[in-house]
Amino acid sequence: MAIHRSSSHKSKKLLQTAQPEPLIYLNGEFVPKGEAKISVFDHGLLYGDGVFEGIRSYNCLIFKLNEHLIRLRESAHTIMLKLPLTAEEMADAIVETLKRNHLRDAYIRVVVTRGEGDLGLDPANCKSPNYFVITDKIVLYPESFYRDGMEIITVPTVRNLPEAINPALKTLNYLNNIMAKIEAKNSNYKEALMLNHQGYVAECTGDNVFLVKNGLVQTPPTYLGALRGITRQAIMDLALRNDMPCQERILTRHDLFNADEAFLTGTAAEVVPVVKIDGRQIGKGKPGKVTRKLMSLFQDLTRKDGVRYTL
C-alpha cells in the first residue's frame, strides 16, 4: 500500500509539472511566462511611464474590447506615447493570446511601456515601446461579497489632482491607488474609498462607486477624480435603458452613509454591493433591489457585448 501511494503521488506530481507555462505575447512573439522579460532600463519600470488596460473575456467573448482599445489609444495619445500596433492588430494579438492559452474566461492585461531608455526622465531617449498581453484567471473578491455585500473604509490618501495626473488616464503610475489599498488592508478591509482634495467622493482604489437614493442611481463625475470606467459606463447605460434614472452627481460621504444602496463597479470586480461604509450601515444592510437588478443585467450584457473568438 505504501508503494502504491508513493507511485500515485509521483504520478500526480508529474502531471502537475507537465502543465505548460502560460504564453505571453511580448513585442510580437509568444514566449513562456518564465521567459517574458524586458530591460531594467525600461521607463515603465523606472518611472511608471506607460499605459495599460484590464479587460475580461466571458465564455469566448471579449467584453467591450473596442471601448478598452479606444481608452488605451487615448491614454497613450495624451502622454505622447505612440502605440506600436493598430487597434485591429492589438485585438488580433489579444484573441491569439487567449487561444494559445486555451482560455474561455479570462482577465486580460494589455501593457505598453515607453521602452528602454537611460536613467534620465527624457522619453525621447526611449527609442521603441515595449508591449505585451497577459491572459490569466482572476478572482478579485470572495463570492460572499456578491451575495451579502462588502464593507469599505475611507482612507487618508486622497485621489490625485486631476490637474496633476488626469484620472482619465490608465497609466502604469498607480502608487496613489496602492497607498490607499495599503491603508485599507492595514485596517482589515479589502477596498478603500478615496476622496479628492476637496473632500468629495472620487472612487475606490480599483473600482468606481455608485449609490442609489430614492430610486436615483448616482456616481461621481470624472472631473472630480474618478476614472471613466468601462464597467461604470456600462452600468449607467443599463440603468437608463431599463427605466432607472441615473446621474453623475457631486457626492460626499454623508450622501453615501445615507444612501438606500451602494455598489462598486470595475472590470475585475464587475458589480459588487456595499453594505457598510466607515462603520455606517447602508440602507437595510444587504444588497438592494436596484443593485441586484443591475448585477443581473450586467451579467446578461457580458454574454453578448464584445468580440467573439473560438478555441
Sign of CA dihedral 236, 239, 243, 247: negative
- In 3D space, the residue among 244, 246, 200 whose CA is nearest the CA of residue 226 turns out to be 200
Tell me, what's the pLDDT at 19? 72
Query: Is there a domain that residue 40 lies in?
Result: yes
Q: Is residue 97 part of a domain?
A: yes
8 falls within a domain: no
Residue after which a domain boundary falls, among 112, 136, 160: 136
Among 111, 136, 161, which residue terminates a domain? 136
Shared domain for 156 and 108, answered yes or no, is no
| Residue 1, in any domain of the structure | no
158, 177: one domain: yes
Q: Which pLDDT score, from 0 to 100, does residue 3 have?
A: 36
Q: Are residues 229 and 94 in the same domain?
A: no
pLDDT value, residue 243: 97
Asked if 82 and 202 sit in the same domain, the reply is: no
Residue 291: CATH number of its domain: 3.20.10.10
155 and 253 both lie in a single domain: yes
Active site residue 170: yes
Q: How many domains does the chain divide into?
A: 2
* Residue 12 forms part of a structural domain: no
Q: Exposure pattern of 53-73 as b/e (b: 16+ CB <10 Å)?
A: bbbbbbebbbbbbebbbebbb
> What is the CATH number for 88?
3.30.470.10
> What's the confidence (pLDDT) of residue 194?
98
Domain that holds residue 92: 21-136
- The residue out of 117, 136, 155 marking a domain boundary is 136
Catalytic one of 10, 13, 64, 170: 170
- Residue 3: inside a domain: no
pLDDT number for residue 20 = 86
Residue 209 lies in a domain: yes
Average pLDDT, the chain: 94
Mean pLDDT by 10 residues, the chain (311 residues): 42 57 98 98 98 98 98 98 98 98 98 98 97 95 97 97 91 97 98 98 98 98 95 98 98 98 97 98 98 98 96 95
